[in-house]
Amino acid sequence: MTDLTRRQLLGVAGTTVAGVCLLSACVTPAETPDEAASAVAAQGKGTKVAALADVQVGAAKAVTLDGKALLLTRPAEREVHLFSSICPHAGCQVAPANGELDCPCHGSRFALKDGSVISGPAQSPLAEIPVQIQGNDVVLAG
């Protein structure tokens, strides 16, 4: 191998590495459902999520906490759950829909009661953040 050839190869390699770095700097990695759930839970026990009356029995409501999109569900009068709205399939935003939680991207459907998969392509449930009813509010549980 000649010096010229070696320099040419190093130049190409440097360009390639810079291109990768530039590309990766342009792409913000998506937050996983578990990362989003952990960040919300870190807000601390007792942090208000919503008023209990904000969500109807047998339904769900989209809420935000610390900038995170969440789904508050109320399967029964005194039962509430909070899930990250990030779909475990490919990261789209799951939304309340007719007594369940549906992903608009590829059609996954999740249960209000536990975020479990009703139908895929998602293979895993929505990430849950523990909550409890405290007076008239839904708050983060410890």
CB of 99 to ligand FES, least distance (A): 18
CB of 102 to ligand FES, least distance (A): 9
CB of 30 to ligand FES, least distance (A): 11
Q: Does 87 bind ligand FES (CB under 6 A)?
A: yes
Q: Does 30 bind ligand FES (CB under 6 A)?
A: no
Stretch that binds ligand FES, among 15-23, 35-43, 72-80, 104-112 (CB under 6 A): 104-112
Using CB under 6 A as the binding rule, the residues of this chain from 108 to 127 that contact ligand FES are 108, 121-122
* Backbone dihedral angles phi then psi of residue 113, each to the nearest 5 degrees: -70, -35
Alpha-carbon span 142 to 17, nearest angstrom: 45
Residue pair 125/109 in contact (Cβ under 8 Å)? The answer is: no
Q: Does 85 bind ligand FES (CB under 6 A)?
A: no
What ranges make up the beta strands (E) of the chain? 48-51, 59-65, 68-76, 79-84, 95-97, 100-102, 109-110, 117-119, 128-129, 131-134, 137-140
**For ligand FES, the closer CB: 58 or 120:** 120
Q: Does 39 bind ligand FES (CB under 6 A)?
A: no
CB of 118 to ligand FES, least distance (A): 12
Phi-psi bin for 67: left (phi > 0), alpha (psi -120 to 50), beta?
left
